[in-house]
Amino acid sequence: MKNWKRIWQKSLPFNGDSMHSHFSKLKNGARVHLIPFSGTDAATILVLFKVGSRYEHQTINGASHFIEHLMFKGTKRRPRTMDISRTLDAHGAEYNAFTGKDYTGYYVKIDSRHLPAAVDLLHDMLFHSVYDPKEMDRERNVIIEEINMYRDNPIMRVDDLLEEIMFKGNTLGWNIAGSPEGMKTMTRDDVVAYRDSHYIPSRMVIGVAGRVPKQILPLLEKTFGKVKSGSGAPSHFQLFNGRLSEAEPRFNVEFKETEQIQLALGFPSFGLADKRNPAVSLLSVILGGTMSSRLFISVRERKGLAYSVRASNGTYEDVGAFTVQAGLDKSRLGEAVKTIVQEIKKIRMGGVSAEELREAKDHVRGRLLLKLEDSSDRADWYARQELFLDKAEEPEGRMRAFDRVSRAHVQAAAKEILDMKKLSVAVIGPFKDATAFRKSSGL
């Protein structure tokens, strides 16, 4: 990378405070979004891959997450973990990686003067990691402890239990980290083959945001643009075909002696590209997205039944998950569940007021503007849309979509989604099974 130093020092950042992206493709087909803006001396490079736990098969469940960890364990040029971390720590950089059910991402946020070092390092990690068998075995134990940590945290664990039952029969219901048993048995050959079939240009998007120098594209072409195209295919990817209404809710109950019951109620919602999603987002805000929301006021403020209660909506390509989650006093469980269900039914049948809708729109706009102040979030905004939708909507366009939402749109979404016959329930508490929980809660 030394031959780039002189060119880099002479280059100037793009101008402007616009949130707009400059899109291009590298010669190998990898997609790039550049999002320059002034007022910062930092830059973030984010590399996303369209692969996560829903692309796995049973014998390698957890491989996507395992691969994410192994990318930090040494390359041919940087054989030790310390060689990787020291390069970035020397520049005071923020860096990390994350794995979801349908994507994996790696990012570095750094003083823009040192962005070439971040580009070089990420390229080296992602395409030249050695996966030393001894390092793999050490990391297996680290991940098993990570799995145990999440299992011991009821607030985090209940989310996994909910999607496990909500998406039962589909890989969307699988745990991202896999299981301790699986971590012990998956082979290096299987992990490497899985990586090679998905870490290819056609399944990769790069986002660079902040103080973006003009010479970034040649640098990306020289590194990520040299990655060879592959013929990988998501052979184990299965679309979620929906769920028919059933006579009773589905339950997933995990016994744990706790004073506070962790409860999650879930309803299948719409996929990522569905035009109804702005209405669904506003519905979640009004129902339980803020400290002035209906659930917060009725469950916590008026009755003191919970410390935490919230509603949210998450989306995958083919389906979403509308969730209500609460930590409840077990001695008043029945009253709390009754109150939550009443609020769900009330908003489904009665809709929302004009004032609630206006305030929700203002809330969404404000949160979006705050979020996009950071270069990491701007890179993620464009790259994630490109990864799944093959295009990236500008923030202004997203807000116009929210502005067009009417009270009728919100109620139509509520009627479609909040169907108690499609309800899934996850519970962590002192209940031996679903029957015991239903008897205590009245659900």
- Residue 4 pLDDT: 46
The pLDDT of residue 235 is: 66
Domains recognised in the chain with CATH numbers: 2-226 (3.30.830.10), 250-441 (3.30.830.10)
Q: How confident is the model at residue 292 (pLDDT cuts 50, 70, 90)?
A: very high
Q: What is the mean predicted confidence (pLDDT) over 350-373?
A: 96
pLDDT at 1: 43
Q: Residue 3 pLDDT > 70, yes or no?
A: no
The CA angle 175-47-77, to the nearest 5 degrees, is: 100
Average pLDDT over residues 188-195: 95
How many alpha carbons fall within 13 Å on the CB side of residue 124?
A: 21
| pLDDT digits 0-9 by tens, 10-56 | 444 554 455 678 999 999 999 999 999 999 999 999 999 999 999 99
Decide: 51 and 233 in contact? Cβ < 8 Å. no
| Residue (of 246, 263, 214, 185) closest to 442 by Cα position | 263
Q: Is the pLDDT score of 2 beyond 80? A: no
Cα 324 from Cα 265, distance rounded (Å): 5
Q: Determine how β-strand 320-329 pairs with β-strand 31-36.
A: unpaired
Q: In this predicted structure, what is the pLDDT of residue 11? A: 46
**Buried residues in 254-286 as b, exposed as e (16+ CB within 10 A):** bebeeebbbbbbbbbbbbbebebbbbbbbbbbb
Ramachandran assignment for 362, one of left (phi > 0), alpha (psi -120 to 50 degrees), beta (any other): alpha
DSSP letter assigned to residue 22:
E
Overall average pLDDT of the 292-308 stretch: 95
Confidence check: pLDDT of 88 > 80: yes
Residues 305, 338: contact at Cβ < 8 Å?
A: no
Q: Torsions phi, psi of 367, nearest 5?
A: -65, -40
Return the SS3 of 71: coil
Provide CB contacts within 8 A for 8, sequence distance 6+. Answer: 113, 115, 116, 213, 215, 219
- Look up residue 316 and give its two tokens: 């995958």
* Residue at token pair 């569905």: 274
Question: What is the C-alpha to C-alpha distance for residues 175 and 179, in angstroms, rounded to an integer?
Answer: 8
- Which DSSP string do the residues of 231-259 spell out, in sequence order? ----TT----------SS-EEEEEE---S
Q: At 206, which helix (H) or strand (E)?
A: strand 204-210
Query: Under a CB-based contact definition with an 8 Å cutoff, are residues 161 and 234 in contact?
Result: no
- Copy the structure tokens of residue 376: 């990491």
pTM here is 0.93
